[in-house]
Amino acid sequence: MRKFLIYAIPITSLIIFILIMQSGNILKKPFGDNDNFPQAINDLIEAVGKEYWDVADQKVESLTKAWKKVLNRVQFSSERDEINKINICIARIKGAIMAKDKTNALMELYEAFYHWEDLGS
């Protein structure tokens, strides 16, 4: 039994470590209704494209909430720079929506989506 544990404990530990480090792609997928980040981006693109600024204002809040939820899960397997870039994009999207600036809002939304795809991979 002891000999088994001597091999089993390190192997199990290594497997757990690998799972933690590689969990980003799985954990960034939505588990509920409020943490679907790509869906929130798509909704925003649609709202901004049609210049429904009141809707966009609400959607950007749900995007922020979704991001905060996902961030707690992916922080152990992602790089800080990618996380910071998404944070900055969200801040700029908020500003662009407030200024009703369609061009900048769309630019930032697509950039946020690009960083999202890169996250944890």
Closest listed residue to residue 67, CA positions, set 112, 100, 106, 97: 112
Based on the shown chain and the rule CB under 8 A, indicate whether residue 120 belongs to the binding site for another protein.
yes
**Residue linked to tokens 């152990």:** 76
Binding mask 74-113 for another protein (x = CB under 8 A): -xxxxxxx-x------------------------------
**What is the residue type of 15?**
I
Nearest to another protein of 54, 80 (CB atom): 80
Binding mask 24-53 for another protein (x = CB under 8 A): x-----------------------------
- Would you give the DSSP letter of residue 32? S
Stretch that binds another protein, among 18-26, 32-40, 56-64, 99-107 (CB under 8 A): 18-26
Distance in angstroms (rounded) separating the CA atoms of residues 2 and 39: 50
Residue 17, CB-side half-sphere exposure with 13 Å CA sphere: 6
Distance in angstroms (rounded) separating the CA atoms of residues 38 and 19: 23
Question: Where do contacts with another protein occur on this chain (CB under 8 A)?
Answer: 10, 13-14, 17-18, 20-22, 24, 71, 75-81, 83, 120
